[in-house]
């Protein structure tokens, strides 16, 4: 299968540690990068997960969590009122 070249490869470490039962604990930076790549228009979540050795359902779970989203935070409008004297 030929890579389309749309997604850059992760260059850092992926797995922080492996538990006795074989489950992996992934680095937060890797998770954030993977979610960012999967959120791009036209990205294949399953293909991206497969290329990076992560289960596609796990990647979708990380995407739903929302706290891995990087980028600019959304600012809300604020109205400041003058304080009334007592």
pLDDT in tens, 60-76: 999 998 765 556 667 78
Question: Which residues contact residue 10 at a Cβ distance below 8 angstroms, ignoring those fewer than 6 apart?
Answer: 30, 33, 34, 52
Average pLDDT over residues 21-29: 93
The pTM (predicted TM-score) of the whole model is 0.67
Asked whether residue 79 is domain-assigned, the answer is: no
Asked whether residue 46 is domain-assigned, the answer is: yes
Asked whether residue 45 is domain-assigned, the answer is: yes
Question: In Å, how far are 15, 18, 20, 52, 66 from 34, measured between CA atoms?
Answer: 13, 19, 25, 9, 12
Beta partners for residue 25, in sequence order: 17
Which range is least confidently modeled, 8-22, 45-59, 64-78? 64-78
Q: What's the domain range around 54?
A: 15-69
Q: Return the closest-CA partner of residue 33 out of 8, 64, 2, 65.
A: 8
pLDDT at 44 over 80: yes
pLDDT at 37 over 60: yes
What is the total count of domains within the chain?
1
């Amino acid at each position: 299968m030929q890579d389309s070249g749309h997604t850059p490869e992760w260059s850092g470490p992926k797995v922080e540690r492996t538990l006795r039962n074989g489950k992996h604990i992934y680095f937060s930076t890797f998770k954030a990068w993977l979610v960012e790549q999967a959120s791009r228009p036209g990205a294949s979540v399953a293909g991206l997960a497969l290329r990076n050795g992560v289960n596609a359902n796990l990647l979708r779970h990380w995407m739903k969590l929302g706290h891995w989203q990087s980028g600019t935070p959304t600012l809300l409008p604020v109205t400041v009122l003058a304080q009334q004297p007592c």
